Structure 1
Amino acid sequence: MDIAEHRQAWEILSHVPEGQKNQYLVQAILKVQERDYLEKVIRETVRDELKSGRMTHPEVPTTDTIPDQMLDFLSKLDDNV
């Protein structure tokens, strides 16, 4: 295991209880596929909106706080990963 990523993956997998490793790997693979698909769809949607000119530049908040809507959205993404 000369590759750092392999060592890191092995460390994570070694903490998964016996009998659950296959299911863990299946879920991990499917989540990566889902995330890649969602990223592709979001990129295409944003690109299409920018090309159409329908998307306008939102007002930039004048404070360093993150709007509650954005925090809720990010929280939901984190729950799905």
Structure 2
Amino acid sequence: MSRPVFSFRPTLDDPEHKRAWEILQRVPNGQKNAFLVQAILQSEDSEKMVGIIRQVIREELKHTHFVSENPVQAEADEIPVQMLDFLSAMEDGM
């Protein structure tokens, strides 16, 4: 079975491509394949880890209750001033 061939042709006008090319150029000859394999696997593992972390956070937030430090509670019998002003204006208009 023949080995697959991969060709990397960066667009050096693209800052990310240029940066990747510069990093790859610093890798010694004979180690580029191992470097690329490691970089690809690390990227995949990082994406999986981010997904796991997000899932754990979602699960924890389901069981968390947030309370305001300064809860503002209107009295049950208290009518807001804005509502009284509105009703007064309605009365004057009739």
Once the 2 structures are TM-superposed, how far is the Cα of residue 52 of structure 1 from its aligned partner?
A: 2.0
**1:6 pairs with 17, 21, 25, which one?**
17
Q: 1:19 corresponds to which residue?
A: 30
Matching of residues 37-56 of structure 1 within 5 Å: 37-53=48-64
Structure with the larger helix share: 1
Q: Percent identity?
A: 47
- Normalising to structure 2: TM-score of the pair? 0.55
Q: 2:74 corresponds to which residue?
A: none
Aligned residue for 2:29, secondary structure, equals coil
The one-letter code sitting in structure 1 at the alignment partner of 2:46 is R
Q: Which has the higher contact order (CA 8 A, sep 6+)?
A: 1
Aligned residue for 2:30, secondary structure, equals coil
Structure exhibiting the larger radius of gyration computed from Cα positions: 2
Q: Deviations over 1:13-63 (max 9, x none)?
A: 00000010011000001001101101110111011111122x88xxxxxxx
Q: 2:70 corresponds to which residue?
A: none
- Runs (4+) of structure 1 exceeding 6 A deviation are none
Matches of 1:11 and 1:20 in 2, distance apart? 15
Tell me the C-alpha RMSD between the 2 structures: 1.6
User: Unaligned 5+ residue runs, structure 2?
Assistant: 1-11, 67-94
